[in-house]
Amino acid sequence: MTGPAFGKGKHRGSGTVRRAAPALGVLGILALAGCSVLGSPDSPEKDDAPYTTSQSNLASLTEVIQKHPDDPQAYNTRGSVLAEAGRSEGALADFNKAISLDPNYAQAYANRALLYRQANKLELALADYNKALSIDASYAPAYLGRGIIYRQQGLSMQALGDFNKAIALRPDNMQAYYQRGLLYQSQHQHQFAIDDFSTAIGLAKQKAEPYVARALSYLAVGDAKAAASDLDEAVQIDPSNQQAWTSRGLAYERLGQRNKAAGSYAKALNINDKYEPARTGFARVGGKVGESYETF
């Protein structure tokens, strides 16, 4: 399941750096491979989770558990709600209870694995994903979650196999295409990455991350115009995304539109004035603290 889409809001006007930052030396234009300096975008962790319920159900779910204390599905469902609310300890306790009541509950293992992955307890997460798949070999979220861990660990072939399997099982899952795109991007297979990000965008147009990711691959292959177009979309979908603004600054810098580039870097600095790629980019295009710059 994918998580809630980012709200789309138009973000117009000028970019002004309101907080002073130490002056930085002007750097040369980043090499194509230097796109990685901006970092690879990643979507919200919960997006690959089989969380399916609303926080508004919490009270009623607790009532269900009180009436049926031996129902593993009730604990798993409440755990999902608690996880969405960021209440990890309560969620973990509920998933543990669900598993103790039904040791063959694949979804509960996958849910618990996600909590472990978010806590960077990767060995525990892998064990739970493996257990979930040993119970249900067709459970797509477990392949997706395990593939993300493999990708983060640099196990490219294992990650690719899991993402392919997740897509075969759930061809409408935006996250599976997005994560496979990130894998291709890390291997410098940018056309494959662009294709996967395009599919992800088609499945979830209101998420900024696939636009940012596709833009970085466009920059890597020298298509700054396409990158700028994607980043225009990304910053309107998620105006608080500092990586989107910084990447947009780089795209417009490569297009020779230094004022618009400075405006984008300024927007990123207004979000976080210590974000180094934005600071160096702003300095590189001649940006000055306190001045206003065009953004659109």
Contact 143, 163 (CB under 8 A): yes
Which residues, in sequence order, are CB contacts of 157 under 8 Å at separation 6+? none
The sign of the CA dihedral 273, 277, 281, 284 is positive
Rg, C-alpha atoms of the chain: 21
Q: What is the pLDDT of residue 8?
A: 28
Looking from the CA of 21 toward its CB, the CA atoms found within 13 Å total 26
The conformation of residue 103, written as its DSSP 8-state character, comes to T
Rounded to an integer, what distance in angstroms lies between the CA atom of residue 109 and that of residue 143?
12
Coil vs helix vs strand at 15: strand
For 123, counting Cβ atoms within 10 Å of its Cβ (0-12 exposed, 13-18 middle, 19+ buried), the class is exposed
Coil vs helix vs strand at 97: helix
Strand partners, 292: 16
Rounded to an integer, what distance in angstroms lies between the CA atom of residue 213 and that of residue 151?
15
**Residue ranges in the chain modelled with pLDDT below 70:** 1-56
Rounded to an integer, what distance in angstroms lies between the CA atom of residue 121 and that of residue 113?
9
State pLDDT tens for residues 181-203: 999 999 999 999 999 999 999 99
Helices (H), 153-241: 156-169, 174-186, 190-203, 208-220, 224-237
User: What are the structure tokens assigned to 5, written together?
Assistant: 């889409």
Q: What is the pLDDT of residue 85?
A: 87
Q: Domains in the chain, please, with CATH? A: 1-43+207-296 (1.25.40.10)
State pLDDT tens for residues 206-241: 999 999 999 999 999 999 999 999 999 999 999 999
pTM of the model: 0.81
Coil vs helix vs strand at 89: helix
